[in-house]
Amino acid sequence: MHALATLLPVGAPALPLDEAGKYVAAAFIVFMVLLVVYVAIMAAKLQRIEKELRELAGFAENRAKGEEAAPARDEVSAR
Amino acid sequence: MYGKGLRPLSIATVVAILAAFSLVFFYAPLDADQGFIQKIFYLHVPLAITALIGFVIGGLFAIAHLRSGNRKWDAYSYVSIHMSVIFGVAVLITGSIWAKASWGHWWVWDEPTLVSFLIVFLMYATYYPFRYAIEDPERQARYASVFAVTAGAFVPLNFMAVRMAQSLVHPRTFGTANGGLPGEMMLVFLCCLATMALLWVTLVKFELTAKSASGQVKRLRRALDAPAPGGASRIAPEVS
């Protein structure tokens, strides 16, 4: 502990806990907020991907129905 | 494919963060000189080390891309740099808070450690507009890789230059003639460093998984010849 104390800046006295606690809390809260914001952005991205996938699934289903209906029409017209 | 193992990794990261922060507040002794404010050290320094190593890893992935021409490595490089820039933002903010509490100033311009980190951060901040300015994806990936290699090489050089500089205010904690951190503090610090590294890996994997999913959706759209939704990113490389 003494070795570290000699390396730290001279004239930087220990802050009383109430004042120091404010800064320490701010630093850790900033970290957590950044993490939460990042996760929220990623969640929004994943929602967008999910929406696109739903659209594509709908598009593929409609196309498949159209292809099924087309041969049936051809058969009717051939008769 | 990229999402494999993401869930246990995420759970391990959350547990590691909780454990590391518990060690910081309930196990690590109070510093004799700085007192409670020194707790920021366990957050700020591991974040900085992880960010700098992340930049170097981004450079190594860029070398792999330039050697092989495989776009996968470019995506890895991009995501590594992207994550390190986010960590860099956290480093600058937590560092400023610590500086204000310790030195009475939010920023000290004649302190080599602070200014050098800011230079590295700003250099990497130009990576995005640099990528965005190039339309052709192949050229974009190649130029971005050259940037990542050059900037990645600058990071350790910059670190060594700062270590050689005589600092008046920034403490030297490791490998000094007067000894290093006491055992308990060192243990907590190493736990925090491992936690931040784990967080970095998890977020990189998370980002790669999202990019992979986005890339697969685009491939599917092309295969189905479906209309594009618009608003697609030109910056971020695709992962297939």
In a domain, B27, yes or no: no
**Buried/exposed A1-33: b ≥16 CB within 10 Å, e otherwise:** eeebeebbeeebeebeeeebeebbebbbebbee
For all residues of chain A together, what is the average pLDDT?
A: 78
Q: Does B86 touch chain A (CB under 8 A)?
A: yes
Q: Are B40 and A24 in contact, with CB atoms under 8 Å apart? A: yes
Residues of B in contact with A11 (CB under 8 A): none
This prediction's pTM: 0.83
Reported confidence tier of residue A28, pLDDT bands at 50, 70, 90 = very high
Which residue in A6, A59, A63 is closest to B178 by CB distance? A6
User: How many alpha carbons fall within 13 Å on the CB side of residue B45?
Assistant: 18
In a domain, B33, yes or no: no
In a domain, A30, yes or no: yes
Per-residue pLDDT for A23 more than 80?
Answer: yes
What is the average per-residue pLDDT within B102-109? 89
Per-residue pLDDT for A7 more than 50?
Answer: no
In a domain, A66, yes or no: yes
In a domain, A48, yes or no: yes
In a domain, B186, yes or no: yes
Number of domains in chain B: 1
In a domain, B221, yes or no: no
Reported confidence tier of residue B158, pLDDT bands at 50, 70, 90 = confident
In a domain, A43, yes or no: yes
Structural domain that includes position A23: 15-78
Interface of A with B (CB under 8 A): 1-9, 12-15, 17, 19-21, 23-24, 26-28, 30-31, 34-35, 38, 42, 45-46, 49, 52-53, 55-56, 59-60, 63
Residue B28 has what DSSP assignment?
A: S
In a domain, B103, yes or no: yes
The letter for the amino acid at B51 is A
Specify the 3-state DSSP secondary structure of B179: strand
In a domain, A56, yes or no: yes
Q: Are B77 and B65 in contact, with CB atoms under 8 Å apart? A: yes
Q: Does B235 touch chain A (CB under 8 A)?
A: no
Give the separation between CA B40 and CA A15, rounded to whole angstroms.
13
What is the average per-residue pLDDT within B127-147? 92
Structural domain that includes position B64: 6-22+44-167+180-205
In a domain, B187, yes or no: yes
Number of domains in chain A: 1
Instruction: Say if the Cβ atoms of A27 and B43 lie within 8 Å.
Output: yes
In a domain, B220, yes or no: no
Q: Are B81 and B55 in contact, with CB atoms under 8 Å apart? A: yes
What ipTM does this complex have?
0.83
What is the average per-residue pLDDT within B195-211? 94
How far are the Cα atoms of A66, B51, B53, B208 from residue B132, in angstroms, in the given order? 40, 22, 24, 19
